[in-house]
Amino acid sequence: MIQIHHVDEDPNNNGFSNLAVLCMECHNDTQLKGGFGRKLNEALVIKYKDEWLERVKRRRNLADEMALKRHGGGIETMAKQKSADEEEFSREPPLSYINSLPAFKAELLKHAQPEWDSGVTARMVQASYDYIDALQGILVTLARYYSSKQFDGKSPQEFFSEVIASRFAWHRTHSEPHGPGTGGTIINVICSGNVMADGERMVEDMVMSLVGYNDEFDWKGWPLRWRREISNESIHPTS
Protein backbone atom coordinates (compact mmCIF):
# COMPACT_ATOMS: atom_id res chain seq x y z
CA MET A 1 0.00 0.00 0.00
CA ILE A 2 1.28 3.48 -0.80
CA GLN A 3 0.89 6.64 1.24
CA ILE A 4 1.54 10.32 0.60
CA HIS A 5 4.29 11.73 2.83
CA HIS A 6 4.82 15.44 3.52
CA VAL A 7 8.58 15.95 3.23
CA ASP A 8 8.70 18.84 5.72
CA GLU A 9 6.13 16.99 7.90
CA ASP A 10 3.69 19.90 7.59
CA PRO A 11 0.33 18.35 6.57
CA ASN A 12 -0.89 21.76 5.42
CA ASN A 13 1.89 22.12 2.85
CA ASN A 14 0.48 20.25 -0.15
CA GLY A 15 2.78 21.68 -2.80
CA PHE A 16 4.08 19.11 -5.31
CA SER A 17 7.70 19.53 -4.18
CA ASN A 18 6.67 18.69 -0.61
CA LEU A 19 4.83 15.44 -1.46
CA ALA A 20 6.42 12.01 -1.88
CA VAL A 21 4.91 8.59 -2.52
CA LEU A 22 6.06 5.98 0.02
CA CYS A 23 5.06 2.46 0.95
CA MET A 24 3.60 2.04 4.42
CA GLU A 25 6.83 0.58 5.84
CA CYS A 26 8.95 3.47 4.56
CA HIS A 27 6.35 5.96 5.75
CA ASN A 28 6.61 4.47 9.22
CA ASP A 29 10.38 4.93 9.06
CA THR A 30 9.93 8.67 8.53
CA GLN A 31 7.97 8.93 11.75
CA LEU A 32 10.92 7.95 13.95
CA LYS A 33 12.20 11.23 15.37
CA GLY A 34 15.95 11.79 15.65
CA GLY A 35 18.75 9.57 16.90
CA PHE A 36 20.04 6.41 15.29
CA GLY A 37 16.55 4.93 15.11
CA ARG A 38 15.41 7.24 12.34
CA LYS A 39 15.89 5.48 9.01
CA LEU A 40 14.43 8.02 6.55
CA ASN A 41 15.21 11.70 6.90
CA GLU A 42 14.16 14.55 4.61
CA ALA A 43 17.22 14.29 2.35
CA LEU A 44 16.70 10.56 1.74
CA VAL A 45 13.00 11.00 1.04
CA ILE A 46 13.79 13.68 -1.55
CA LYS A 47 16.50 11.45 -3.08
CA TYR A 48 14.13 8.48 -3.38
CA LYS A 49 11.36 10.71 -4.75
CA ASP A 50 13.63 12.09 -7.47
CA GLU A 51 14.76 8.58 -8.42
CA TRP A 52 11.15 7.36 -8.54
CA LEU A 53 10.04 10.28 -10.74
CA GLU A 54 12.92 9.57 -13.11
CA ARG A 55 11.90 5.90 -13.37
CA VAL A 56 8.30 6.89 -14.09
CA LYS A 57 9.48 9.34 -16.75
CA ARG A 58 11.64 6.68 -18.42
CA ARG A 59 8.76 4.16 -18.40
CA ARG A 60 6.36 6.63 -19.96
CA ASN A 61 8.87 7.73 -22.56
CA LEU A 62 9.37 4.07 -23.44
CA ALA A 63 5.61 3.58 -23.66
CA ASP A 64 5.33 6.56 -26.00
CA GLU A 65 8.20 5.22 -28.10
CA MET A 66 6.58 1.78 -28.35
CA ALA A 67 3.29 3.31 -29.47
CA LEU A 68 5.01 5.48 -32.06
CA LYS A 69 6.95 2.54 -33.47
CA ARG A 70 3.63 0.88 -34.24
CA HIS A 71 2.81 3.96 -36.25
CA GLY A 72 5.34 3.22 -38.99
CA GLY A 73 6.51 5.78 -41.51
CA GLY A 74 3.48 8.03 -41.11
CA ILE A 75 4.96 9.65 -38.04
CA GLU A 76 7.77 11.25 -40.04
CA THR A 77 5.35 13.00 -42.37
CA MET A 78 3.24 14.11 -39.44
CA ALA A 79 6.23 15.61 -37.65
CA LYS A 80 7.18 17.96 -40.50
CA GLN A 81 6.97 21.65 -39.75
CA LYS A 82 3.83 23.29 -41.08
CA SER A 83 2.99 26.94 -41.70
CA ALA A 84 2.25 29.17 -38.74
CA ASP A 85 -1.37 29.51 -39.84
CA GLU A 86 -1.89 25.75 -39.98
CA GLU A 87 -2.49 23.55 -36.94
CA GLU A 88 0.04 20.78 -36.47
CA PHE A 89 -2.22 17.77 -36.70
CA SER A 90 -3.55 15.36 -39.27
CA ARG A 91 -7.24 14.60 -39.31
CA GLU A 92 -7.07 10.94 -40.27
CA PRO A 93 -4.58 8.47 -38.74
CA PRO A 94 -3.34 5.66 -41.01
CA LEU A 95 -5.59 2.61 -40.84
CA SER A 96 -2.45 0.48 -40.72
CA TYR A 97 -1.70 1.95 -37.29
CA ILE A 98 -5.29 1.75 -36.07
CA ASN A 99 -5.54 -1.86 -37.23
CA SER A 100 -2.31 -2.81 -35.46
CA LEU A 101 -3.54 -1.70 -32.04
CA PRO A 102 -5.55 -4.83 -31.05
CA ALA A 103 -2.51 -7.03 -31.72
CA PHE A 104 -0.28 -4.57 -29.86
CA LYS A 105 -2.65 -4.72 -26.89
CA ALA A 106 -2.54 -8.52 -27.00
CA GLU A 107 1.26 -8.40 -26.85
CA LEU A 108 1.16 -6.09 -23.84
CA LEU A 109 -1.29 -8.36 -22.03
CA LYS A 110 0.78 -11.43 -22.83
CA HIS A 111 3.84 -9.75 -21.33
CA ALA A 112 1.96 -8.69 -18.19
CA GLN A 113 0.03 -11.92 -17.55
CA PRO A 114 2.85 -13.84 -15.77
CA GLU A 115 3.18 -10.95 -13.32
CA TRP A 116 -0.56 -10.89 -12.67
CA ASP A 117 -0.53 -14.66 -12.20
CA SER A 118 2.32 -14.44 -9.66
CA GLY A 119 -0.03 -13.56 -6.81
CA VAL A 120 2.57 -11.12 -5.47
CA THR A 121 0.82 -7.80 -4.96
CA ALA A 122 3.82 -5.63 -5.81
CA ARG A 123 4.48 -7.50 -9.07
CA MET A 124 0.81 -7.48 -10.03
CA VAL A 125 0.49 -3.74 -9.44
CA GLN A 126 3.74 -2.94 -11.28
CA ALA A 127 2.58 -4.94 -14.30
CA SER A 128 -0.66 -2.97 -14.28
CA TYR A 129 1.23 0.33 -14.07
CA ASP A 130 3.39 -0.71 -17.04
CA TYR A 131 0.30 -1.64 -19.05
CA ILE A 132 -1.38 1.66 -18.19
CA ASP A 133 1.75 3.53 -19.28
CA ALA A 134 1.62 1.69 -22.62
CA LEU A 135 -2.05 2.62 -23.07
CA GLN A 136 -1.13 6.21 -22.31
CA GLY A 137 1.51 6.01 -25.04
CA ILE A 138 -1.20 4.99 -27.51
CA LEU A 139 -3.43 7.85 -26.35
CA VAL A 140 -0.59 10.34 -26.81
CA THR A 141 0.04 9.03 -30.32
CA LEU A 142 -3.64 9.27 -31.27
CA ALA A 143 -3.74 12.78 -29.83
CA ARG A 144 -1.40 13.89 -32.60
CA TYR A 145 -4.41 13.72 -34.90
CA TYR A 146 -6.44 16.08 -32.74
CA SER A 147 -6.31 19.84 -32.68
CA SER A 148 -4.12 21.04 -29.82
CA LYS A 149 -7.10 23.16 -28.74
CA GLN A 150 -8.72 19.97 -27.46
CA PHE A 151 -6.25 19.57 -24.59
CA ASP A 152 -6.70 22.79 -22.63
CA GLY A 153 -3.42 24.16 -23.93
CA LYS A 154 -1.46 21.25 -22.45
CA SER A 155 0.75 18.74 -24.17
CA PRO A 156 -0.92 15.36 -24.76
CA GLN A 157 1.54 13.81 -22.29
CA GLU A 158 0.56 16.26 -19.56
CA PHE A 159 -3.14 16.07 -20.38
CA PHE A 160 -3.35 12.28 -20.25
CA SER A 161 -1.10 12.06 -17.19
CA GLU A 162 -3.61 14.20 -15.34
CA VAL A 163 -6.56 12.19 -16.67
CA ILE A 164 -4.99 8.89 -15.59
CA ALA A 165 -4.09 10.32 -12.18
CA SER A 166 -7.67 11.47 -11.71
CA ARG A 167 -8.96 7.97 -12.52
CA PHE A 168 -6.64 6.48 -9.89
CA ALA A 169 -7.91 9.05 -7.37
CA TRP A 170 -11.54 8.31 -8.23
CA HIS A 171 -11.26 4.54 -7.99
CA ARG A 172 -9.32 4.70 -4.74
CA THR A 173 -11.87 7.11 -3.27
CA HIS A 174 -14.97 5.07 -4.07
CA SER A 175 -13.24 1.76 -3.20
CA GLU A 176 -12.45 2.87 0.35
CA PRO A 177 -15.64 4.45 1.71
CA HIS A 178 -14.35 4.20 5.27
CA GLY A 179 -11.21 6.19 4.59
CA PRO A 180 -7.72 5.89 3.04
CA GLY A 181 -5.92 2.68 3.91
CA THR A 182 -9.02 0.85 5.16
CA GLY A 183 -9.27 -1.44 2.14
CA GLY A 184 -5.92 -3.18 2.53
CA THR A 185 -3.26 -3.76 -0.10
CA ILE A 186 -5.73 -5.41 -2.48
CA ILE A 187 -7.11 -1.93 -3.21
CA ASN A 188 -3.97 -1.19 -5.23
CA VAL A 189 -4.70 -4.20 -7.44
CA ILE A 190 -8.38 -3.30 -7.79
CA CYS A 191 -7.74 0.36 -8.57
CA SER A 192 -5.04 -0.32 -11.15
CA GLY A 193 -7.33 -2.88 -12.81
CA ASN A 194 -10.12 -0.32 -13.04
CA VAL A 195 -7.77 2.31 -14.49
CA MET A 196 -6.61 -0.23 -17.07
CA ALA A 197 -10.23 -0.67 -18.16
CA ASP A 198 -10.67 3.12 -18.29
CA GLY A 199 -7.57 3.46 -20.48
CA GLU A 200 -8.78 0.75 -22.85
CA ARG A 201 -12.13 2.50 -23.25
CA MET A 202 -10.37 5.82 -23.89
CA VAL A 203 -8.31 4.30 -26.70
CA GLU A 204 -11.42 2.80 -28.26
CA ASP A 205 -13.30 6.08 -27.97
CA MET A 206 -10.49 8.02 -29.65
CA VAL A 207 -10.15 5.51 -32.46
CA MET A 208 -13.86 5.47 -33.21
CA SER A 209 -13.94 9.26 -33.23
CA LEU A 210 -10.89 9.63 -35.45
CA VAL A 211 -11.89 7.18 -38.17
CA GLY A 212 -15.01 9.24 -38.79
CA TYR A 213 -16.91 7.91 -41.79
CA ASN A 214 -14.03 6.02 -43.37
CA ASP A 215 -15.67 3.16 -45.27
CA GLU A 216 -12.42 1.20 -45.23
CA PHE A 217 -12.52 0.91 -41.45
CA ASP A 218 -13.82 -2.36 -40.00
CA TRP A 219 -16.46 -0.86 -37.74
CA LYS A 220 -17.73 -4.22 -36.50
CA GLY A 221 -14.53 -6.22 -36.21
CA TRP A 222 -12.10 -3.67 -34.79
CA PRO A 223 -13.93 -3.03 -31.49
CA LEU A 224 -14.40 -6.77 -31.01
CA ARG A 225 -10.71 -7.43 -31.59
CA TRP A 226 -9.71 -4.55 -29.31
CA ARG A 227 -11.95 -5.90 -26.54
CA ARG A 228 -10.62 -9.41 -27.29
CA GLU A 229 -14.13 -10.70 -27.90
CA ILE A 230 -12.79 -12.29 -31.09
CA SER A 231 -9.20 -13.19 -31.91
CA ASN A 232 -7.03 -10.89 -33.96
CA GLU A 233 -6.79 -13.61 -36.61
CA SER A 234 -10.55 -13.86 -37.06
CA ILE A 235 -10.74 -10.78 -39.26
CA HIS A 236 -8.12 -9.58 -41.68
CA PRO A 237 -8.24 -5.76 -41.48
CA THR A 238 -7.78 -3.49 -44.45
CA SER A 239 -4.36 -1.79 -44.46
pLDDT in tens, 228-239: 988 775 544 443
SS3 of 18-83? HEEEEEHHHHHHHCCCCCCCCCCCHHHHHHHHHHHHHHHHHHHHHHHHHHHHCCCCHHHHHCCCCC
Claim: this prediction has a pTM higher than 0.75: no
Q: What percent of the chain has pLDDT over 90?
A: 43
Is a pLDDT exceeding 60 seen at residue 8?
yes
For residues 12 and 109, which has the higher predicted lDDT (pLDDT)? Answer: 109
pLDDT in tens, 97-146: 999 999 999 999 999 999 999 999 889 999 999 999 999 999 999 998 99
